[in-house]
Amino acid sequence: MALDHALLVSLLEKPSSGYELARRFDRSIGYFWHATHQQIYRVLSRMEAEGWISAEVQAGETAPDRKVFSATAKGRVELSRWIAEPVEPEGTRDALMVKLRGAAFGDPQGLIAELEHHRAAHANRLTCYHVIEARDFSGTLDPQRALQYMVLKSGLRFEQGWLEWCEEALDLLRNIKQVKRRRTTS
């Protein structure tokens, strides 16, 4: 149920159309939640039906019509309720880890390209976050900004961690000896 609330937060920060939200989720918001436009439109309809958000159609003269959503008072209440309700930390789920561990039964070196790709992707995200940091979070910050910054900082921290880990893993893969194919129980 968390996409609902991520959208509520986004709409409280700035009323927007589904399309804008999708773009922001692809960019800056991407570092705290990820979603596709299809999903976003679906959830927006549902939330409108429940009265958490309300829409205002802006007829575009040159561009297509836009439905601009804002959070309602009811939506605010729902958000507070949800924030107060405890959640457990997420369980790990990363395909790359499965692959690494599975590579012991195949060709570890085959993962080098994959890891290099991941390293590049994480380096990319990291610089992206650094740009946002410099642009939006220098100087003194009001409480709202400070909270946003804290979220960004987790992104910075984790991308940095990924980067270092990728290096470490690449080192290992490059130096590992070719594993002998061992038959376990067929």
CB of 45 to DNA, least distance (A): 6
99, with CB counted inside 10 A (0-12, 13-18, 19+), is middle
Q: Which does 24 bind (CB under 5 to 8 A by kind): a second copy, DNA, none?
A: none
How far apart, in whole angstroms, are the C-alpha atoms of residue 85 and residue 77?
13
- In the shown chain, the binding pattern of residues 7 to 46 toward a second copy, with x for contact by CB under 8 A and - for none, equals -xx--xx-x--------------xxxxx------------
Q: Read off the tokens for 106.
A: 């195949």
How far apart, in whole angstroms, are the C-alpha atoms of residue 64 and residue 16?
15
Q: Which is nearer to a second copy, 101 or 135 (CB)?
A: 101
CB of 38 to DNA, least distance (A): 3
Residue 94 carries which DSSP code? Answer: -
Q: Which is nearer to DNA, 67 or 74 (CB)?
A: 67
Footprint on residues 65-104 left by a second copy (CB under 8 A): 70-73, 76, 79-80, 82-84, 86-104
How far apart, in whole angstroms, are the C-alpha atoms of residue 125 and residue 161?
12
Q: Which does 19 bind (CB under 5 to 8 A by kind): a second copy, DNA, none?
A: DNA
- Is 57 a binding residue for a second copy by CB under 8 A? The answer is no
Q: Which residues are at the interface with DNA (CB under 7 A)?
A: 1-4, 17-20, 22, 34-39, 41-42, 44-45, 60, 62-67, 91, 93
Of 60, 58, 30, the closest CA to residue 129 belongs to 30
How many residues touch a second copy (CB under 8 A)?
Answer: 80
The torsion angles phi and psi of 17, rounded to 5 degrees, stand at: -85, 165
- Is 155 a binding residue for a second copy by CB under 8 A? The answer is yes
153 sits in which H/E element: helix 143-175
CB of 56 to DNA, least distance (A): 10
Q: Is residue 67 helix, strand or coil? A: strand
